[in-house]
Structure 1
Amino acid sequence: MANINDFTQKEKQNALDEARIIMQMKVFKMKDYERVAYYSEEDAKVYYHNLTGSDMGDIVEEFEGEVPFSNTVY
């Protein structure tokens, strides 16, 4: 296992930057069993539209909003 002292200052800073970016993301419930992690509600809808080809009107209608990261589907 790597020791924290094995990393350069730049590598440490990059890891911190990545962690900050991930922490800014939110999880949005698109349908009963589908979630999208993105920075904003609007971006999540556009991403989901591009991914699935679903009609934007249907996406807006079925969109359930932000959910906690711990909200998992089994």
Structure 2
Amino acid sequence: MINPKEILESIEFPVSVVDKEGNVKYLNSSAKELKVLLGFPKFLELIKYSISIPFVKNGYSVKGILKELDGNKYLIDV
């Protein structure tokens, strides 16, 4: 049987699994690296911003969300 965490871990891009309240449930290695680079408050800001979008709140997935943070641009898929 395939382990879902192994699949998420094999993705080279940062992957975060969060619940509807924004609590982080899982981070793959790339996401952990990003969290260290940004610091937890800024990393959490990216997550909170992503789940605050009305389409996401209504259960839709959204691709290509652009978020600028300290002059850096992040492209987010939720």
Settle same-fold status: TM greater than 0.5: no
Q: Rg larger in 1 or in 2?
A: 1
- Structure richer in helix, relative to its length: 1
- TM (normalized to structure 1)? 0.31
The higher relative CO (CA closer than 8 Å, separation ≥ 6) is in: 1
